[in-house]
Amino acid sequence: MTATRVPGTPVVEDGVLISTNPASGAEAGRVPVADTEAVTETVRRAAEAARWWQSLGYDGRRERLLRWRSLIVRRIEELAELTTLETGKPHGDAVVETTGAVEHLDWAARNAKRVLGPRRTRTRLLVAEHTGHVEYQPYGVVGVIGPWNYPILTPVGPISGALAAGNAVVLKPSEYTPIIGQWLVDTFAEVVPEQPVLQAVHGLGDVGAALCRSGVGKISFTGSTATAKKVLAACAENLVPAVIEAGGKDALIVDADADIQAAAEAAVWGAMTNAGQTCIGIERVYAVAPIYDAFVNAVTEKAGKLRTGEEIGPITMPRQIDVIREHIDDALAKGGKAVLGGADAVQPPYVSPTVLVDVPADSSEMRDETFGPTLTITKVADANEAIEKANDTPYGLGGAVFGKKNAVRIARRLRSGMVAVNSTLSFVGMGNLPFGGVGESGYGRIHGEDGLREFARSKSITVRRGPSVLPAMTFERTPANIANIIKTLRILYGRK
């Protein structure tokens, strides 16, 4: 049976997933859909591959991961073209996304040994006859479940950490971007042909659910908060740990001493890049009264120059268009005003840039993730009010502050995992900075040292080197030993 084709909506026909461009409907490619047995078998093969991968050690893995990095860079045009075909994303955005992926791959490969390698800990006086060692052992197989909005960067971050730590990885790409996921797996196999260290399983949400139950050692999930809760419920059945990178409703605060033109440029970029389909996209701005009018004018002028089909690509997931329309309509119905775009901005598969002011805090545009090229700007009296309003959300992923004197102090008070000062989104491009949220945005971290440790378990080993100085953990201890322990404790820790 042939299903009706809506451009961009994936179709499963005879066990094959067909992926298409959201604007033209052109086919991006086909991949076989995995059933539960196939997922389990893939994870079993990955467990074998993981043993070989671990046997290479940090240096062997580093060398292979860096070769994969170089291959991606050499073929960046090919990957960017494929990304434009499958998601509709402008070519430049696909290149920039790949740049971020390459940075994380490079950093994880080069730093895994330093961060995760065995090390001796300092001797503690109460157990002075023991030396302590800590090392990080991989989970075995890590399941990476990814979204469609950044189909290269979002999986490559956790894949890099997991592989560098010594795990094999089974990737479940979004059903909207399976061909990019398969490209990553195929190119990895070109540099590591010996064993299936990185594999993909394709299909709809049930394939992701099967991966959670397949015997993997850990799940790295990036996607919506609603799906994250389903993933955690499935993982809970077998106590499988998970790192959760979920949605956001990030805010930008513009303080009185900000460079207004720079803040407007960064606000427009942060809100509208990738047509606003960015987990760390700026969705709300709180601008203090003295600069509010100038800031709104600057944003409106800059966003007004962006063209759909050029800088603003199509909405990749067709049903998201209804969410964006509902948010704009709700904002306007509740008294908000469109200074750019508005009710007519939604022209599927495109949404033109929309800037809204005076939007009440209870509107869906202010509370829920819009994931479109829309931005609300709210006037506040001062930075304290801005912080209070910015933090009034169950999400807490990223954020940004523009200002001079107090910008970093404001950044510290934002309830989120990351904040960019005098820029937007920049933290995602630094391989040595951890990335992740709080609250409904998830927990755990990818990228940086924390992101490497996320994919390994610490293992503590003590080695006894001589007789006990203060015998305590033995039935052969004497009352004198206990008296000595008390005396030592008082000297070490009992002083005021």
In the region spanning residues 225 to 244, those forming contacts with ligand NDP, defined by CB under 6 A, are 227, 230-231, 234
145 binds ligand NDP (CB under 6 A): yes
User: What gap in Å lies between CA 295 and CA 289, rounded to an integer?
Assistant: 10
Q: Facing residues of 136 across strands?
A: 458
Q: Applying CB under 6 A, which part among 127-135, 148-156, 260-268, 379-387 lies near ligand NDP?
A: 148-156
Among 7, 205, 304, 348, binds ligand NDP (CB under 6 A): 205
Distances (CA, A) of 446 to 43, 87, 174, 184, 454: 22, 24, 19, 18, 7
Give the contact letters, 162-181, x = binds to ligand NDP (CB under 6 A), - = no.
Answer: ----------x-xxx-----
Dump strand ranges (E) for 40-129: 119-121
Comparing CB distances to ligand NDP, the nearer of 247 and 431 is 247
- Catalytic residue (one of 245, 283, 365, 369): 245
Least Cβ distance, residue 486 to ligand NDP (angstroms): 51
Among positions 147, 196, 396, 439, the unique one binding ligand NDP when judged by CB under 6 A: 147
Residues 230, 213: Cα–Cα separation, whole Å: 12
Stretch that binds ligand NDP, among 102-110, 206-214, 321-329, 338-346 (CB under 6 A): 206-214
In order of 106, 153, 185, 216, 300, the CA distances from 180 in angstroms are: 20, 11, 9, 23, 35
Q: Please, which residues have CB within 8 angstroms of residue 425's CB and are 6 or more apart in sequence? A: 269, 270, 273, 278, 280, 281, 398, 400
| Residue 363 within binding range of ligand NDP, rule CB under 6 A | no
Site string for ligand NDP, 87-126 (x = CB under 6 A): ----------------------------------------
Token pair listed for 298: 């600057």
Our CB check for ligand NDP shows the closer of 100 and 223 to be 223
Give yes or no for a contact between 350 and 320, defined as CB atoms under 8 angstroms apart: no
Strand partners, 374: 354
The site that binds ligand NDP (CB under 6 A) totals a number of residues, namely 32
Tally of residues, the chain: 496
Among residues 58, 68, 107, 148, which is the contact residue for ligand NDP, using CB under 6 A? 148
Rg (CA), the chain: 25
Cβ-proximal residues to 367 (8 Å cutoff; 6+ apart), any chain: 249, 361, 393
Q: Say whether residue 154 binds ligand NDP (CB under 6 A).
A: yes
Contact 271, 374 (CB under 8 A): yes
Q: Which is nearer to ligand NDP, 100 or 140 (CB)?
A: 100
245 is catalytic: yes
Report whether 441 contacts 151 (CB < 8 A): no
* Per-residue binder mask for ligand NDP (CB under 6 A), 391-430, x = binder: ------x---------------------------------
In the complex, least distance from residue 246 CB atom to ligand NDP, rounded to whole angstroms:
5
Specify whether 279 is catalytic: yes
Instruction: Determine if 270 is a binding residue for ligand NDP (CB under 6 A).
Output: no
Which helix (H) or strand (E) segment holds residue 260: the answer is: helix 260-272
Residue span 291-320 as binding mask against ligand NDP, x where in contact by CB under 6 A, dash where not: --------------------------x---
Residue 315 CB, nearest approach to ligand NDP (Å) = 11
Of the residues 86, 175, 212, 279, only one is catalytic, namely: 279
Cα–Cα distance for residue pair 65/73, rounded to 1 Å? 12
DSSP annotation string for 334-383 = TT-EEEES-GGGEETTEE--EEEES--TTSHHHHS---SSEEEEEEESSH
* Closest CA relative to residue 167, chosen from 136, 203, 122: 136
Measured from the CB atom, is 363 or 416 closer to ligand NDP? 416
Q: Report how far residue 81's alpha carbon sits from residue 13's, in angstroms, rounded to the nearest whole number.
A: 25
Q: CB-wise, 370 or 376, nearer to ligand NDP?
A: 370
**If we measure between CA atoms, which residue out of 465, 473, 486 comes closest to residue 131?**
465
**Of 248, 342, 373, 396, which lies in the binding site for ligand NDP, with binding defined by CB under 6 A?**
248
What x/- string results for residues 62 through 91 when contact with ligand NDP is judged by CB under 6 A?
A: ------------------------------
- What residues act catalytically? 245, 279
The residues that touch ligand NDP, with contacts defined as CB under 6 A, are: 145-150, 154, 172, 174-176, 204-205, 208-209, 212, 222-224, 227, 230-231, 234, 245-248, 279, 317, 369, 397, 437
